[in-house]
Amino acid sequence: MCGICGKLNFDRDASVNPALISTMLDTIHHRGPDDEGLYLESQVGLGHRRLSIIDLDSGHQPLSNEDGTVWIVFNGEIYNYRELRTYLLAKGHVFRTQSDTEVIVHLYEELGPQCVEKLRGMFAFAVWDQKARTLFLARDRIGIKPLYYCLTEHSLVFASEIKAILADPSIRREIAPEIVDRFLTFLYVPGEETLLKGIRKLAPGHYLLVRDGRPELRQYWDLEFSKPERSPSLKDAESQLLSLLAETTELHMIADVPVGILLSGGVDSTAVLGFASERTSKEISTFTVGFSDPGVVDERPYARLASKAYGSRYYEMTITAKDFADFLPRYVWHMEEPVCEPPAVAMYYVSKMARKYVKVLLSGEGGDEAFAGYSNYRNIVWLERFKSMSRPLSKATAWGLSAADSWLDLPRVTKYVPLMMARFPDYYYSRTSNPYRYSGNGLGSLYCNDFAISIDREYSIEPVRRLFSHVKKQSILDQMLYIDTKTWLPDDLLVKADKMTMANSLELRVPLLDHKVLEFAASLPSSYKLKGFSTKHILKEALSKRVPSQILERKKAGFPVPYESWLRNDLKDTTRSILLDQKTKERGYFQRSAIEKLLESNRDHGTYSKEIFSLVTLELCHRCFLDGDRGASN
């Protein structure tokens, strides 16, 4: 795990300033405090910050092939690198290190850009091909590792984090107003654009080739939901799943440094702990965070239960409202992209604790997106079934939904009746936020008139609408799983996981997001994932003899953070001072009176905590990356 950056000038006579690459590296020192390296060759400069995980003594980067004509900077881990190394040695390639990085260099020599199709792991890297005068950027299939770039008339600048790109004085700091609305629609930013104009994410499963100033963007992988003509029986599928989970967990434990588990007390992280404990003779350390606030589900008793079941060394901590408030400016500095993800603050603190004991963490991230673990999937599938049986909407249907509240765990029927009259997938575009927002009755009502007129609502949801068009013939469940895997997962959950752990110089690995696991899950019938009102059915059945029943049968809690209470009480003055500040008003986005009403409503009823946290995050992003307020990084 590392941080990478670089610049390619399109004019072959325009040399890259080594001081620029050094400055870019300084901004991402936290990603790799163990080593630093630069490669400069006329029009190109590559930089690397290293967090040593594999081949501690000889893995220095940038790294080249035998004759120094192919150079790489790499962030991530290749879990099948030993197998690939054997293949390349047989082809006559000569290795100087034992690192997975060097495998990519020789694989590129052998296969060119198609080398990415052979890699199993998480990665973001840049390869400079001196002979072809080509820069090759690639990102892993799921988007576990971030990679940003800015393409101008004269150059391409890239980095693991946006702040490194902004270290180049030639890059303008300018907000894209249309992305403000996209963020406030989804409460994260799906798609390849970022809040800053011109700075883009390299999409998961894509690579970018730049030759003579001409960029060529290509997709090399997509998640396919095609089903075999004859599906395996549920029992056979469970057996295949257990074998696959055992294999991927073992691969994700490859390291020359201590490895621990981020334990949530849920099914997925407990399963990862179980498989990991069977594949090492060393004691595994597990780490959990909790809260003492009344009314908040405390995950720690379940995490302790899992730890005891598998004999791990257990560590836990509690964070407070003050911890949350103190970290907010640095939350924005590290996250860079506006994301309504309060649990990220908890992840930062538990990562900080874990870093005292380990250098690598495994987590259970991804199981819900692969195997349909969110109640949202079940609810919408049943909602569509109600709609198909009841056209037009009738009182009987509304009564049925109301009666189903208690056993379906639906929010109150008044929230779902408007969706009964909408067309899927329209109301799913903003499913992570208020379902009314899609119809313009949410945060859009806060906009100043001039800003509201400038917004193209179709543009705001365009990335998700485009993805839906790829799977419109699939089942509703597969459509939702595909969209979440392509947007919610990389643009919210994984960016949180990467940025918060790397803020503490800690590598996070996600065995359940191995692309072979996702492909296997996608090949299964929907009924294997949702059975009646049960979510994640096949995974729970497969793990029924491995995971304690108290964990297996408990209601899903997510990662509960009592930020709603904190925003209404401990942090109410802080949020008011930010959102009603003159500087915030001068952005020209929101009506002050509407913001005041929103704050009052949340104070009285607690109904707009996500919206308020999102607005605070948005303003702090402006101050940090547009105004250049470096105080946010302190």
Strand 360-362 relative to strand 507-509: parallel, antiparallel, unpaired?
parallel
What's the rounded Cα separation, in Å, for the pair 269 and 193?
Answer: 32
> Of 305, 7, 367, 366, nearest to 152 (Cα)?
7
Query: At 225, is the secondary structure helix, strand, or coil?
Result: coil
User: CB 620: neighbour CB atoms within 10 A?
Assistant: 21
User: CB 450: neighbour CB atoms within 10 A?
Assistant: 9
Q: Which residue has the tokens 């702990």?
A: 273
Residue 124 CB partners (closer than 8 Å, separation 6+): 4, 74, 75, 76, 137, 138, 139, 140, 145, 146, 147, 160, 202
What's the rounded Cα separation, in Å, for the pair 226 and 125?
Answer: 30
What's the rounded Cα separation, in Å, for the pair 93 and 217?
Answer: 29
Burial group, residue 573, by CB count within 10 angstroms (0-12, 13-18, 19+): exposed
CA angle 420, 426, 429 (to 5 degrees): 120
On the CB side of 315, CA atoms within 13 Å amount to 17
SS in 3 state form for 438-504? HHCCCHHHHECHHHHHHCCHHHHHHHHHHHHHHCCCCCHHHHHHHHHHHCHHHHHHHHHHHHHHHCC
Residue 573 CB partners (closer than 8 Å, separation 6+): none
**Residue 71: its H or E element:** strand 70-78
The DSSP letter of residue 203 is P
The DSSP letter of residue 6 is E
What's the rounded Cα separation, in Å, for the pair 404 and 397?
Answer: 10
What's the rounded Cα separation, in Å, for the pair 145 and 121?
Answer: 10
What's the rounded Cα separation, in Å, for the pair 495 and 493?
Answer: 6
Which of the following is catalytic: 2, 115, 340, 621?
2
Number of helical (H) and strand (E) elements in the chain, helices listed first: 28, 17
The encoded tokens of residue 276 equal: 């990991």
Strand partners, 136: 127, 209
User: CB 130: neighbour CB atoms within 10 A?
Assistant: 16
Task: For CA atoms 522, 523, 528, 532, give the dihedral sign.
Answer: positive
Q: Is residue 340 annotated as a catalytic residue, yes or no?
A: no
Strand 2-9 relative to strand 44-50: parallel, antiparallel, unpaired?
antiparallel
Question: Are 307 and 274 in contact, with CB atoms under 8 Å apart?
Answer: no
Which residue numbers are catalytic? 2
